[in-house]
Structure 1
Amino acid sequence: MSDRTAVTVRIAGEEHAIRSAAPPEYTRRCARLVDERITEIRRRSGLVEGHRAAILAALSITDEFFQAQEELERLRAVVAERTEAVVERLDGALGGVE
């Protein structure tokens, strides 16, 4: 079992102790993104209520995640297609040389 390290982070003006197997700097980076997104939502919409801003931030981050997943799948398909084309060209150029 991996060691879990406690890291204190500040999100939306509140301190939270997060225990994670991830490196502390990674946990801080994740917390910064959430905090920045909540701050941005509050600034743009005038929302003060933390719970609602946190939900909107989670939805925004999830949307970005799903878009990135879709782009990754698209790029994987492009790479597979191009790899197959290169292999076919090499096979043709080698003309059955073994």
Structure 2
Amino acid sequence: MMDQRAVVKVRIMGDEYTLRTEASAEHTKAVAEHVDRTIRAIMSGSTTMETQKAAILAALQITDDLFRERSALDGVTADMKQLASDIRPLLPPAKRGDEAGAA
């Protein structure tokens, strides 16, 4: 079995990291740039904040963003399922995709 992971070098807060990833180099670099920007934005609000503390706060902020997006996606998915359920009775029987329409 061949290893499909690529080695990608990224820079976060001036430090270089070598990452092994199955994602594309472009994606991995974009993720690292987002993390770097988030840490820098947090640190810009304080002249004395340690990098480690800023990294933890950035992780919390990024995770909060992820959870909010997942929740929004769940809402859209539920809305789409409800819409499909509402529309199904309006379709001709052959287009409903249920056994009653197929008979």
Would the TM-score normalized by the shorter structure come out above 0.5? yes
**Distance (Å, rounded) in 2 between the aligned partners of 1:75 and 1:2:** 36
RMSD: 2.1
| Contact kept? 1:41, 1:47, Cα under 8 Å | no
Q: Among the aligned pairs, what percent are the same residue?
A: 34
**Aligned counterpart, 1:49:** 50
Residue 73 (str. 1) matches residue 74 (str. 2) = yes
**Aligned counterpart, 1:34:** 35
**Distance (Å, rounded) in 1 between the aligned partners of 2:49 and 2:8:** 26
Deviation at residue 46 of structure 1 after TM alignment: 3.1
**Distance (Å, rounded) in 1 between the aligned partners of 2:3 and 2:76:** 33
Name the SS of the counterpart of 1:45 in structure 2: coil
**Distance (Å, rounded) in 1 between the aligned partners of 2:74 and 2:92:** 27
Which deviates more from structure 2 when the two are superposed, residues 42-51 or residues 12-21? 42-51
Could you tell me which runs of 5 or more consecutive residues in structure 2 were left unpaired when the two chains were aligned. none
Name the SS of the counterpart of 1:70 in structure 2: helix
**Distance (Å, rounded) in 2 between the aligned partners of 1:89 and 1:78:** 17
Q: Deviations over 1:2-40 (max 9, x none)?
A: 411111101011111111011111100110110000000
Aligned length: 96
| Contact kept? 1:47, 1:53, Cα under 8 Å | no
Q: Deviations over 1:42-92 (max 9, x none)?
A: 012334411101000000000000000100000000000001111112258
The aligned amino acid for 1:33 is H
Structure with the bigger RCO (C-alpha within 8 Å, sep 6+) is 1
Residue 83 (str. 1) matches residue 84 (str. 2) = yes
